[in-house]
């Protein structure tokens, strides 16, 4: 049986970010989870770059640190904050090239503890203040769990309201048995003269 030629939203987000991230860049994993996005970002920004991560659950910070250590990523190449992603702007003083969101719940933990619309929209708004020209925000949404579909709709509506300073793309598989994850991606445009 042939597998789909259409990548999963997480793979699509990584493919787009690979195109813009360079050694020395700073990038944010807004929802650390088990650290897979942070590890991906670390590979893109290299030894001279930095990844800053956020999660409210201590288990996410522990799992992410263990993953980075297991892969030999030096401790000075990343920093974690156990706070809501909505507060990211309090911890970042310079522009970043990318911010990744992977919404929903922490795999392997309490599925009742999920990202919520008001915190996510506040975090996205903060991300728009941090991302430099040419930089990107990616948001993988999971409509299959309680609250997930409302969050995805809110993210899409928010992204569409940003105006012409941003390129906005929505990538989603249709005609699936279960509600499929979707990707909303935004890239800050060059300022026109």
CATH of the domain at 110: 3.40.50.150
Tell me if 4 is assigned to some domain.
no
This prediction's pTM: 0.93
Residue 16's domain comprises 9-188
Q: What is the pLDDT of residues 93-141, one digit of tens each?
A: 889 999 999 998 767 766 667 788 899 999 999 999 999 999 999 999 9
CA–CA separation, 89 and 91 (whole Å): 5
- Say if CB 97 and CB 25 are below 8 A apart: yes
Mean pLDDT calculated for residue range 79-97:
95
Tell me if 64 is assigned to some domain.
yes
Tell me if 35 is assigned to some domain.
yes
* Total domains present in the chain: 1
Identify the sign of the CA torsion 93, 87, 109, 137. Answer: negative
The pLDDT value recorded for residue 8 is 92
The pLDDT value recorded for residue 113 is 75
CA–CA separation, 79 and 86 (whole Å): 17
Q: Exposed, middle or buried, 148 (CB in 10 Å: 0-12/13-18/19+)?
A: buried
Confidence of residue 82 (pLDDT cuts 50, 70, 90): very high
């Amino acid at each position: 049986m042939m597998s789909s030629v259409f990548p999963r939203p997480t793979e699509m987000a990584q493919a787009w970010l690979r195109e813009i991230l360079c050694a020395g860049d700073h990038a944010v994993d807004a929802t650390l989870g088990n650290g897979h996005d942070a590890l991906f970002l670390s590979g893109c920004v290299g030894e001279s770059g930095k990844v800053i991560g956020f999660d409210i659950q201590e288990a996410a910070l522990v799992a992410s640190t263990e993953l980075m250590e297991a892969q030999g990523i030096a401790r000075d190449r990343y920093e974690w904050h156990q706070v809501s992603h909505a507060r990211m702007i309090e911890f970042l003083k310079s522009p970043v090239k990318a911010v990744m969101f992977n919404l929903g719940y922490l795999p392997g933990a309490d599925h009742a503890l999920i990202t919520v619309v008001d915190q996510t929209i506040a975090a996205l708004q903060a991300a728009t203040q941090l991302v430099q020209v040419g930089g990107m925000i990616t948001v993988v949404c999971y409509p299959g769990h309680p609250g997930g579909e409302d969050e995805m709709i809110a993210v899409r509506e928010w992204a569409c309201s940003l105006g012409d300073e941003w390129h906005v793309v929505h990538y989603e598989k249709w005609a699936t048995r279960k509600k499929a994850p979707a990707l909303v991606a935004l890239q800050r445009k060059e300022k026109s003269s």
